[in-house]
Amino acid sequence: MPELPEVEAARRAVEENCLGKKIKRAIIADDSKVIEGVSSSEFESAVVGKTIVSAHRKGKNLWLQLDSPPFPSFQFGMAGAIYIKGVAVTKYKRSAAKDNDEWPSKYSKFFVELDDGVELSFTDKRRFARVRLLKDPTAVPPISELGPDALFEPMTVDEFTESLSKKKIAIKALLLDQSYISGIGNWIADEVLYQARIHPLQASSSLSKENCATLHKCIKEVIQYSVEVDADSCRFPNDWLFHFRWGKKSGKIKGKKIDFINAGGRTSAYVPELQKLSGTSASKAAGKPRKQASKRKGGKAKDSDEDEEGAGDEPTSEEEETTKIAKSRKGVDPKGRSKKPPVKRKNKESDDDGGDDGGKSDVSSESDDEDLKEKAGKVKTRTSNKQAKTAKTSSGQAASSQNGKKPKRAK
């Protein structure tokens, strides 16, 4: 998802290439999911002939100020991106356009051609972005509900420390809350917490003053550096977690294992060896594995990180072990006696007219193979008895025929 550095790079590109230029032509996509609250034709009519005066950003939102309202506003969503033909804006990791792609892209939602020939397009392949036409973007949601911008309106270290002391929520979830600080998304939150050596699930109010000061410093440094390089991830320092966090099989960073958990409703990358839970947060996390362990005898308890992660892409060794235990117990009742599948019991009850005691005796705990052999033997015995009975009846019929008497009908 584009975060503050990517959106700021887009704002600066617009500022450098589009200001003071008049919109000559506009093509707005007929997509009511992305283009919100206005038809494409109304949108086009409202911007054509207008001059772009400035470009603004707050958090992960961008809007163009024209010489008169209304103004185009862009909420980037999961994969929104600004492109200017012939200009390298930014190549966000998962939304970069290829050089040989059609122009404008088939995913373009907002396209304008300026009077000097410059062309700008806002694209969104996944359709989670929102493009609006607003009289005052700052006066209405989502921008009106945002907290201070992490780059333009940073808290002082004292303000940051005091605000954290009042928040019991996990620190990762708090950093993702755009009403608290706007602009920090998933990868930045993971990066600053890794660099500050703070666990994503650590309660915000439990952080020491030293922790708060370190985190404040990391947020400032990561955001400023990312913006300075126009969000070009190839220019991020090699020791940043960013380069190793993508996908659940990324392995290690500096020889230390990267793990993934759910924090703040998002998949979160962290390094357990360096980012450890402490205090009440650790106690709460430690309590969860014990509850799980009690549900399966002989199974190992998961550590706090595994417990938070939930089901992964592949089963862990412990999950495999649990599956094996479940399979070995299948078919055994609480008293340790083997249970026969319902279908087999039904067949047994229909076939055994008088060959057993009606199921009153205890069932043997021998292996399934021996049980099957026993059943096969009973079936064979019953078959032999029936054959013998049939043969006896046939002999009696034959003898009666020889004596000139009608054979009696078998009952």
Beta strands per DSSP E along 124-265: 130-134, 252-253, 256-257, 259-263
Catalytic residue among 50, 58, 60, 109: 60
107 touches 125 (CB < 8 A):
yes
2 is catalytic: yes
Dist. CA 144–CA 174, nearest whole Å:
19
Residue 145: other Cβ atoms inside 10 A: 11
Residue 33 annotated in active site: no
Residue 280 in contact with residue 203, Cβ under 8 Å? yes
- The answer for 230, left when phi > 0, alpha when psi is -120 to 50, beta otherwise, is left
Of 66, 63, 65, which is closest to residue 75 (Cα–Cα)? 63
CB neighbourhood size of 305 (10 A): 19
C-alpha to C-alpha distance for 149 and 153, rounded to whole angstroms = 5
Active site residue 70: no
Q: Are 158 and 124 in contact (CB under 8 A)?
A: no
Give the Cα separation of 225 and 216 in Å (integer).
14
Q: Which residues pair with 182 in a beta bridge?
A: 149
Query: Annotated catalytic residue: which of 2, 5, 104, 137?
Result: 2
**Which residues belong to the active site?**
2-3, 60
